[in-house]
Amino acid sequence: MNGTKQTNKVELVEKGSILTPKGFKAAGIHAGLKRKRKDLGAILCEVPANVAAVYTLNQIQAAPLKVTQESIAVEGKIQALVVNSANANACTGERGLQDAYTMRQASAQQFGLDEHLVAVTSTGVIGEYLPIEKVTSGIRLLEPNSVEGSADDFNHAILTTDTTTKQTCYQTTVDGQTISIGGVAKGSGMIHPNMATMLSFVTTDAVIESEVLQHALSGITNQTFNRITVDGDTSTNDMAVVMASGLAGNTSLSPTHPDWEAFYETLKQACESLSKQIARDGEGATKLIEVQVNGAQSDEDAGKVAKQIVGSDLVKSAVFGKDANWGRIICAIGYSGCPINPDKIDIAIGDIQTLENSQPLHFSEEQATAYMTNEETIMIHVNLNNGEGSGKAWGCDLTYDYVRINAGYRT
């Protein structure tokens, strides 16, 4: 190693999962919180894993988030992560907090760990008490293992109104060794700024200190998980956790490590992939919308404008209606609060340029409709021609099914 930056390749691992990195096991079972589907899962590491986590910025935080933060505060490591779906254990007061402690205690006992090595989390309905007997009975049945199907069991166990599981895996080379980063997520509704009922769990076998990992995760979260929106609602239960087993045997990663960039990029790819999967599976969604903004005064502004566009109910409805309605896009740009030059904006939908220097162009409506009908991902390109900043955001269309799902979710 000569200290110059290497850009080792980042490679997608087809069918890779949270079990691809060395040292992890998983389980997912039906514990009776949902009628039939899996609703309780665990990720277990062979060794105490260095950990980084980010949490919802909602001032109302669910009980398990508090308990998990306590666990991580002890030594920056966890060895097991236990999740239930169907009930968020949020807004449940003192009893909810006790239930979260009970859930952690039962898990520690089941896996023979100190309590502070266990993280717990919950997702589902807010404001109802956790059926704690079902949860603890379920925990006693959790037997994580590393066979292929276990990751899928876990992936299913954390879903609520999601229609599909979400997983990803990327690899790169650090110190000549392959290191893997696997991830799983759930999303669906309440997906917006600063984390939503978004749970993302990422595993890696890289050797990296918790503080360094935390720094990387925080930066990447701002460009990935915090750049998706389904409905503008920020949940009480969001969290993203990265566990690093350290079994890949590289020298400890930090920004001065020659392969740091490769590691960082790999982690970012994994988080971006999960983010897009979450946006694509937004409640009722039929399309993924990706907005790329260039020419902003800063990257932060670009991200903010992109997110404002992808969060506009009018833009989302237009995508559902296959209508290349750039008027709603420029309108959203105008109220983003970021500095713009109102006369210099370019907008394209896919390859179809619709606005140049804020002046409407003639374009084929048929071609635009065809693009919006045929493509799975609708690309919106904006150039503000006002600086060098760029950024992306992801979302989904607003459909009848979003309304149907959310008018009847609790009942």
User: Which segments are annotated as binding site for substrate?
Assistant: 160, 186, 197, 283, 406, 411
Position among 23, 41, 193, 391 found at the interface with its own copies (CB under 8 A): 193
Nearer to its own copies, 231 or 290 (CB): 231
Q: Residue 113 — left, alpha, or beta (φ > 0 → left; ψ -120 to 50 → alpha)? A: beta
Choice between 209 and 401, CB closer to its own copies = 401
Two structure tokens written together for 9: 């390749």
Determine if 126 is a binding residue for its own copies (CB under 8 A). Answer: yes
CB of 332 to its own copies, least distance (A): 7
The one catalytic residue in 197, 221, 224, 234 is: 197
CB of 125 to its own copies, least distance (A): 7
Query: Is 408 an interacting residue with respect to its own copies (CB under 8 A)?
Result: yes
Is residue 61 within the footprint of its own copies (CB under 8 A)?
Answer: yes
Is 364 an interacting residue with respect to its own copies (CB under 8 A)?
Answer: no
Q: Find the DSSP H helices in 140-202.
A: 148-157
C-alpha torsion 400→402→408→410, nearest 10: 180
Is 360 near its own copies (CB under 8 A)? Answer: yes
Residue in the structure block whose two tokens are 């939503």: 196
Residue with tokens 């589902």: 124
Return binding residues.
Answer: 160, 186, 197, 283, 406, 411
Q: What is the DSSP letter of 39?
A: -
Q: Does 312 bind its own copies (CB under 8 A)?
A: yes
Of residues 220 and 330, the one with the C-beta less far from its own copies: 330
Under 8 Å CB-to-CB from 19, ≥6 apart: which residues?
Answer: 25, 26, 146, 148, 150, 151, 182, 203
Q: Would you count residue 191 as binding its own copies (CB under 8 A)?
A: no
- The Cα–Cα gap between 13 and 272 comes to 15
- The DSSP secondary-structure symbol of 257 reads S
What minimum distance in Å lies between the beta carbon of 127 and its own copies?
4
Q: In this complex, which beta carbon is closest to its own copies, that of residue 156 or of residue 316?
A: 316
State the residue for tokens 């666990």. 71
- Cβ proximity of 166 and 185 under 8 Å: yes
Q: Is 197 in the active site?
A: yes
Amino acid residing at 39: D
Chain length of the chain: 411
Is residue 299 a contact point for its own copies (CB under 8 A)? no
Q: Which of 32, 76, 131, 232 contacts its own copies by CB under 8 A?
A: 232
Quick one: how many helices (H) and strands (E) in the chain?
11, 15
- Measured from the CB atom, is 13 or 405 closer to its own copies? 405
d(Cα 140, Cα 107) in Å, to the nearest integer? 8
Binding site for its own copies (CB under 8 A): 57-61, 88, 90-93, 125-129, 189-190, 193-194, 231-236, 311-314, 317-318, 320-321, 323, 325-328, 330-335, 340, 342-343, 355, 357-360, 365, 398-400, 402-411
Q: Annotated catalytic sites, by residue?
A: 197
